[in-house]
Structure formats: C-alpha cells, structure tokens
C-alpha cells in the first residue's frame, strides 16, 4: 500500500487564505515556507492516524484517502501552521482556524466514540459498510402535561424505562 500525504500544500494554503487572498504587506500562516507547511501536514497526518488507529485502517492508501480524512488533516495542519506562524501568540476561540480545528477534533471524537462512521472501515457482519441500523422510540408527552403548574419534566428513568410495543417506531 502506497501512502502519501492526506492533504496538499495548496489545500492547506487555501484553507489559510481562500483563493489566494493574501493581502500584500500582511503576512499569514499561508506565507510559511513549503518545508514549514510540510512539517505541519506531517504532524497533522500523524495526529489523524493516531486518533483513528483501531477505528479505521491507518495509514490510508494514497489512492483512496476518504474526503473526510483530507478535510480533518487540512484543518489540523492549518491550525498547526498557524501556531508556528504566530509563535505562541494565542488565537481567539472564534478565529476561523480555531473553529475549523475544533470541528476537526469534534469529528475525530465522533468517529472514536461511534457517533460517526469510521472512514474506510471494513464492512460489519451484515456487509453494509459498517453502519448499524438503530431504532428510536419517540415519546410525545402532551402539552397538558408540560403546562400543568408544578408538573415536572419526565425523568431520564421514565424515558429509559419506556419500551416501545412491537411495531412501534
């Protein structure tokens, strides 16, 4: 299996300065050297592989990198490049690079906690690609229940104890 970078220099630069929107005289992380960005990409790929190990076959084959892995690696690499560029100057939580990094971390967490299907995961026992069909019970408590003065909301125990009748859901 041939492995390669999950994301290109151009993809990371575009995430840092969309459509080459670098303002003359104002430096951004997109202006880092190729070697500095390549280091950020390598670190991002290592982080993605470490987080997905045991959930997906890592490292991914260069000819079949799932788009979600490219997106996560791009956003992690952009964040790491920005940290290098800022040399320790903290970013605000609402900085676009911080928001993308937080979204990438949330996706990695969702994959490792089973809330999101692992990219490239082998099919499960029924051969449907790893997804599990689950049913949910919808419990509609009437408006009169909630509107009664002093009426409590249903407790988690009440909801957990509800077992739908055969054919419900």
pLDDT tops 50 at residue 100: yes
> Does the residue 30 lie in any domain?
yes
Q: How far apart are CA 7 and CA 9, in angstroms?
A: 7
Q: Hey, which of 68-82, 84-98, 152-166 has the most confident mean pLDDT?
A: 68-82
With 0.85 as the threshold, say if the pTM is over it.
no
Tokens found for residue 60? 């991914």
Flag whether pLDDT at 102 surpasses 70.
yes
Percent of the chain with pLDDT over 90: 31
Q: What is the mean pLDDT of residues 36-53?
A: 93
Distance in angstroms (rounded) separating the CA atoms of residues 11 and 74: 7
44: in domain:
yes
pLDDT value at residue 129: 47
What's the structural domain count of the chain? 1
Tell me the mean pLDDT in the region 159-164: 53
Read off the DSSP letter of residue 98.
H
Q: Which domain holds residue 23?
A: 9-112
Would you say residue 26 lies in a domain?
Answer: yes
If DSSP codes are grouped into helix, strand and coil, which group holds residue 51? Answer: helix
Structural domain contains residue 31: yes
Structure tokens at 12: 């990371």
pLDDT at 58 over 70: yes
In a domain, 151, yes or no: no
| Range of weakest confidence among 70-74, 86-90, 132-136 | 132-136
Residue 149 lies in a domain: no
Q: How confident is the model at residue 46 (pLDDT cuts 50, 70, 90)?
A: very high
pLDDT computed for residue 63 by the predictor: 84
DSSP 8-state secondary structure symbol assigned to residue 125: T
pLDDT at residue number 133 = 45
Q: Which two tokens stand for residue 113?
A: 């906690």
Report the candidate in 133, 72, 67 with the shortest Cα–Cα distance to residue 105.
72
Closest CA to 153 of 168, 138, 167, 141: 141
pLDDT digits (tens, 9 = 90+) for 115-152: 888 887 655 555 544 444 445 555 555 555 455 555 55
Task: Tell me whether residue 117 is in a domain.
Answer: no
Is residue 168 domain-resident? no
Q: Which residues have a Cβ under 8 Å from the Cβ of 103 and sit 6 or more positions away?
A: 75
Is the peptide bond preceding residue 59 cis, with omega within 30 degrees of 0? yes
Residue 143 φ/ψ, nearest 5 degrees: -60, -35
Segment 37-53 shows an average pLDDT of: 93
């Amino acid at each position: 299996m041939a492995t390669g970078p999950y994301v290109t220099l151009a993809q990371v630069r575009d995430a840092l300065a969309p459509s080459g929107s670098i303002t003359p005289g104002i430096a951004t992380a997109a202006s880092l050297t190729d070697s500095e960005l390549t280091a950020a990409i390598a670190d991002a790929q290592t982080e993605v592989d470490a987080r997905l190990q045991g959930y997906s076959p890592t490292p991914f084959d260069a000819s079949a990198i799932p788009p979600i892995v490219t997106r996560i690696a791009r956003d992690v690499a952009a964040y790491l490049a920005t940290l290098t560029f800022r040399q320790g100057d903290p970013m605000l939580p609402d900085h676009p690079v911080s928001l993308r990094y937080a979204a990438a971390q949330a996706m990695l967490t969702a994959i490792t906690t089973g809330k999101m299907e692992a990219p490239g995961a082998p099919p499960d026992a029924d051969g449907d690609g790893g997804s599990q069909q689950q049913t949910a019970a919808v419990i509609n408590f009437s408006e009169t229940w909630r509107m009664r003065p002093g009426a409590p909301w249903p407790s988690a125990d009440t909801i957990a104890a509800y077992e739908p009748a055969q054919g419900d859901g």
